Amino acid sequence: MTPVVADRLQKPGFSFTGARFGIPSRGEGKTLEVEIDEAIAEARAITAEKGVTSRESAVAWDIVEELLSAAAHKREKEPKNAFARYCEEHPSASEALMYDL
């Protein structure tokens, strides 16, 4: 069991809303996608070892769910580039039109 899950299991009243789910900036630590992949692998291992109905398994999958939620929120907040803004402001411009072939 990795230290992250072990730490959470040892603390009564554990919470998933801490700084652990902050999204690192570029070049700073692991990316959120890597953390999600690792959390899924860890949750699968814990589920295989402890069983589907164990508390440890539930905690591990809750961590995965929170990381996925953080990734979804990150995608919502990403700023649009200049071309995307231009296409929204000028939907009839030839650059913004989409054609079905």
The structure's pTM equals: 0.51
Q: Which two tokens stand for residue 2?
A: 């990795």
CB 96 within 8 A of CB 87: yes
Model confidence pLDDT, tens digit, residues 31-61: 888 999 999 999 999 999 999 999 999 999 9
Q: How much is the pLDDT for 25? A: 42
Residue 58's nearest CA partner among 36, 40, 43 is: 43
Q: How much is the pLDDT for 79? A: 74
Please report where in the chains the tokens 């801490």 appear, as a residue.
18
Stronger pLDDT, 9 or 77, i.e. the higher one: 77
Q: How much is the pLDDT for 62? A: 96
For residue 63, pLDDT beyond 60: yes
* Alpha helix ranges (H) inside the chain: 3-10, 32-50, 55-77, 82-89
For residue 11, pLDDT beyond 60: no
